[in-house]
């Protein structure tokens, strides 16, 4: 017979208040509704959450720092299938387009860029015989050397 699991739910602030009042139960799951993150009580006054793996799906970037991935659903015409994947840069907090989505928008190679800030359109790529270069944003290039062949 199927078992139903019930989750207590509330905002991060509500969960923190419950923890401060020693109102949690060790091993009990909680849903943090304003972040879309699961948490588990570790003691009456403490919990651990899964924020490091949190994914946001929506038409605008999330403001909470717990999200690491964002599927942008605002413009289905940009990428076949309708979703653009962004990854949060842990150093700057900025949302960067994933390389896979960038490549889908610009399939033909361009001239190899002279620097990391050379003119270029997000998704452009180039090959100079030893290195690939990818424009991860407009006028922002990364360079990769293949390690091996197959």
Q: Which tens digits make up the pLDDT trace of 7-54?
A: 788 888 999 999 999 999 887 888 787 776 777 788 899 887 765 446
Q: For residue 2, tell me if it sits in a domain.
A: no
What CA–CA distance (Å, rounded) separates 83 from 15?
Answer: 32
- Does residue 149 fall inside a structural domain? no
Do 57 and 92 belong together in one domain?
yes
**How far is the C-alpha of 31 from the C-alpha of 11, rounded, in Å?**
8
- What are the tens digits of pLDDT across the range 78-95? 554 445 677 777 677 777
Q: Which of 66, 19, 67 is nearest to 47 (CA)?
A: 19
Residues 40 and 66 in one domain: no
Q: Which domain, by its residues, includes 30? A: 8-49
- Provide the whole-model pTM: 0.37
């Amino acid at each position: 017979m199927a078992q139903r699991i019930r989750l207590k739910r509330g905002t991060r602030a509500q969960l923190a208040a419950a923890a401060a009042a020693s109102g949690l139960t060790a091993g009990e799951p909680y849903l943090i509704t304003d972040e879309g993150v699961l948490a588990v009580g570790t003691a009456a006054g403490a919990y651990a959450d899964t924020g490091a793996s949190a994914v946001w799906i929506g038409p605008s970037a999330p403001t909470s720092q717990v999200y690491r991935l964002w599927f942008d659903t605002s413009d289905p015409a940009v990428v076949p299938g309708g979703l653009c994947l962004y990854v949060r840069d842990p150093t700057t907090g900025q949302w960067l387009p994933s390389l896979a989505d960038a490549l889908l928008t610009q399939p033909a190679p361009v001239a190899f860029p002279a620097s990391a800030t050379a003119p270029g359109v997000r998704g452009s790529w180039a090959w100079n015989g030893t290195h690939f270069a990818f424009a991860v944003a407009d006028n922002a290039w990364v360079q990769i050397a293949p390690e091996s062949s197959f």
